[in-house]
Structure formats: structure tokens, C-alpha cells
Amino acid sequence: MASKKSMSHDSRLADAAKSGVTPSTMSAAVRIKQDYQNFLKEAELLMPKVDQSLLLDIIYYQTRYPDWEGSVVLRVVYPADLDINQKKEWIYQKYQRMSRVEEEKTLKFKAIRMSMEELGKMLDEDPDIQYITGSATLTPTDSYSV
């Protein structure tokens, strides 16, 4: 079993040499992938209620384009049997945006300046939130359309 393992490792190295990839760049790739996996796990622990694709989009836009205006269509999911209109009002007071109720428990609205920090603040202020998803866009679109 051990020899099989070392053979496959050797053949991988041979393949790498043929393709011009050196062991050091290979280990760099492995390490970057490992670090990325660890980063995802950490993000999951820190913001378990946020859709990871949304989180990654916001981080990307916020870091890659420092003047990004934070244009995000958010879907905030609350538990069933909760007064959703009260939450709608809370969102209006906080973001001056009218939200649309979907399936009696989701508020969909278009936010601006929705950074990672703002997302964290929102979750801290409203522990009733079950889940946040949505999509971030690079360029601003019609402010009120959702």
C-alpha cells in the first residue's frame, strides 16, 4: 500500500515536471486551497445565518472595489408565525427602503451601503433573523426595483 502511494506521488511529480509545474508551486497551490477552505469554515462559524455566496460576493466587491456602493438585493428570512409587518417597518426605519413580503416570512429589498460590517450589525440588532440570502451587484441599478 505504501509503495503504491509513493508510486502515485512519484508519477504526480513526473507529470508536474512535464507540465512545468514545480513541487514548490504545487505545494503553494495546495496551501492556498487549504487556506481558502479554512477561511470558508471560519466565515461559516462567524456568520452562520448568512448565505455564503452572498458573503463572498460582498467581501469581493468591498475589497476589490473600495468605492463600491454596496448595492445588494437582500432576502431576510424570519421564522413563520412572526409579525412580518413589524419587521417590514423596522427595515424601513433602518434603511429607508420598502421591502416586499414573500411567502409570509421573507422580506426582500434593495439595500445600498450593505457592507460586511452592516450585515453583521443587522444580525446583531435582530436575533429573530433566521437566514439572509440575496445577491450583490457591482454597479448600481434602479434604486427601488427588486
Partner 1 sequence: MTSPIEEKIDDWQKIVNKPVFTRDGKDVGVVESVQAERIIVTFGPITPDKYAIPKSSIVDFDEVGVVRLKEDGDFIEHHYKFA
Q: Which three three-digit cell numbers place residue 83?
A: 409579525
Binding mask 5-34 for partner 1 (x = CB under 8 A): ------------------------------
d(CA 133, CA 146): 14
By the rule CB under 8 A, 102 interacts with partner 1: yes
Q: Which member of 14, 29, 80, 98 binds partner 1 (CB under 8 A)?
A: 80
The count of chain residues that interact with partner 1, using the rule CB under 8 A, is 19
By the rule CB under 8 A, 105 interacts with partner 1: yes
By the rule CB under 8 A, 48 interacts with partner 1: yes
Dihedral, CA of residue 79, residue 82, residue 87 and residue 89, to nearest 10:
160
By the rule CB under 8 A, 87 interacts with partner 1: no
Quick one: 114 or 129, whose CB is closer to partner 1? 129
Q: Please choose, out of 8-16, 27-35, 101-109, 136-144, the segment that lies near partner 1 by the rule CB under 8 A.
A: 101-109
d(CA 73, CA 100): 11
SS (HEC) of 36-79: HHHHHHHHHHHCCCECHHHHHHHHHHHHHCCCCCCEEEEEEECC
d(CA 44, CA 15): 36
Q: Please choose, out of 1-9, 40-48, 57-65, 90-98, the segment that lies near partner 1 by the rule CB under 8 A.
A: 40-48
Q: Which member of 131, 135, 137, 146 binds partner 1 (CB under 8 A)?
A: 131
Q: Residue 103 burial by CB count (10 A; 0-12/13-18/19+): exposed, middle or buried?
A: exposed
Catalog residues that contact partner 1 under the rule CB under 8 A: 44-45, 48-49, 51-53, 75, 77, 79-80, 102-103, 105-106, 108, 130-131, 133
